[in-house]
A and B are shown apart, each in its own frame.
Chain A
Amino acid sequence: MEDEVVEKATSLIKIPVTLEIPIGPQHPAIHEPVLLKVYADGEEIVGVEIGTGYNHRGVEKLLENNTFYKDKFIASRICGICNTVHENCFTRAVEYVAGMEPSPRAKYLRVLVMELERIHSHMIINAIMAEIIGFDTLFMYIMRDRELVMKAKEIVSGGRVLAEFHMFGGVRRDIDDIKRDRLIEILKKVEPRLKYYRKLFENDPTISKRLTEIGVLKAKDATSHGMLGPILRGSGIRSDVRAEDKYDAYGEIPFNVIVRGEGDSLARMLVRWDEALESLEMCKYILEHLPSGSAVVDERKLPRTFPPGESFARVEAPRGELTYYIQHTGGNKPYRVKVRTPSFNNIINSGFSYLGHSIADVPVILVSYDPCISCMERAIVVDLKKGVEKRVTLREIAMGVAAP
């Protein structure tokens, strides 16, 4: 960080966000788990340093030391909120290496589970955004309606949060007609709520005043800094892994790629609500057009070792593009597995976008990039002139209480 920036700044706000990024075999014992060091001159931000203090748990080395089958379970525990997409990406990467192809019914069921997860993840981040700007009631309402989606996910896969649903060559459980009817009932209840929240985010003056024109990202900046997912689509670039790679059953299910041109925080949140509505339509389509046949894989007949090969699988996680790269030289343990979660690009490369805004906007912009929530700890505001430290919550920063 340049020294003249530090001199001009009057206060330094350290925002620790612990992300579950599985990079490297080591645990980083960096002195403080500080992520965003925001140098502020009065109210205006003059410099941002992304300090890297993630809690990694040595996942990549762990993946190299275990067999492929155990790795699938470890991979889904990299992130609890988007665990099905991690599983799906790893499973497909191994299927490309081994040359396996799942049955059509299995592909449709995989998409069903992933879309249900997308709905619940977008609801969470919007609830957090409402809470950060002080709209507590909306947070509680969204969380209450989210329970319906969790129930639906439990009916399909057997787990509310961790849906260990995928297996190489297919899935592990199937749904029958009773479950299908129950799912359609639940989706019918969720739909008017999603539409109501979408309308609320667009029309409510509290929300739109805090979110409009904040954190504007031009298309050029978004691509040259490697931002992904709803951030790209909120700035006008039409790029969605589901429409490009057409993996699993996405080639057959009709859906729209949501793009908005404004590039500010409101556009990003509205992209997420629109995507949640699209996912709902896709779930309804899947439940009505499920192909017949068997979906469950007989795990006793799966091979013990896999042929050598190299593959690169991408998946559209709720936060962006998630990629798994596997290089295998033979045997039952992979040679190299590299996981790149979307928050790795979105959060580390995003330091440029806070400059010029005021302190109260920093949590709004950070939450609109969708870092992993519920790991938001307290922030520390350091008044550089007086040398005084004060602990505040992110919510207090957003409501403007924290400025010294």
Chain B
Amino acid sequence: MKPNRPRFHIDANNLREVIALLKQRLGEESFYISNIIGVDRMAEGIIEVNYFIHVVPLANTIVIRVTVPRDKPQVPSLIDMIPGVYSGECETYDLLGVEFIGNKYLRRGFFVPIDVASKNVFPLRKDAKV
């Protein structure tokens, strides 16, 4: 990804292992999760969830991409390992509908107004009529 950010594609089931390995190898003080960005690729029928992790000794941000099918978007949550994913996971759930299994703080209405949330619409999806 420009400008020279290495991108890794992994399977959703291996996500927790990979992050645990990162914690072990780098130590907790050397990296932080900077962003969790979901992208709706309606044409291919998938949703991409990108984890942007900034590694301080490398002075660069790496991207870990997980793709999930659009009709059943579920990813294991990282909140017990890294509490800082709270804001990113809650936002991605509220706007795109990606469920993070194990995160008990997920709720509709985190950002989206109640009248849209009650219609079960996820606003950032490409076919959402808002």
Contacts and interface: CB of A to CB of B under 8 A. Distances in A.
Direct A–B touching, Cβ under 8 Å: yes
Secondary structure type dominating chain B contacts: mixed
Contact of B61 (A224, A310, A314, A349): A314
Interface in A216-253: 219-220, 223-228, 232, 237-239, 243-245
Interface in A178-232: 219-220, 223-228, 232
Interface string A98-124: 000000000000000000000000000
Interface in B38-57: 39-40, 50, 52, 54, 56
A311 B3 contact: yes
Interface residues of B, number: 45
Given A311-B1, A312-B52, A349 B86 contact: yes
Given A24-B95, A224-B28, A97 B33 contact: no
Nearest to A218: B29
A154 to B, nearest CB: 32
B56 A23 contact: no
A67 interface: no
A337 to B, nearest CB: 10
A26 B52 contact: no
A348 to B, nearest CB: 4
A14 to B, nearest CB: 17
Nearest to B23: A224
Contacts of A87: none
B95 A220 contact: no
Contacts of B50: 325
A273 interface: no
A248 to B, nearest CB: 12
Contacts of B8: none
B60 A27 contact: no
Contacts of B40: 336
Contacts of A24: 91, 94-95, 111-112, 123-124
A358 interface: no
A18 to B, nearest CB: 13
The 8 closest A-B pairs by CB, nearest first: A226-B84, A29-B113, A244-B59, A348-B87, A96-B2, A311-B2, A225-B84, A223-B32
Given A23-B95, A223-B32, A312-B52, 5 more contacts: A25-B123, A224-B82, A309-B2, A312-B5, A344-B87
Interface of B: 1-3, 5, 28-35, 37, 39-40, 50, 52, 54, 56, 59-61, 63, 82-87, 90-91, 94-95, 109-116, 123-124, 128, 130
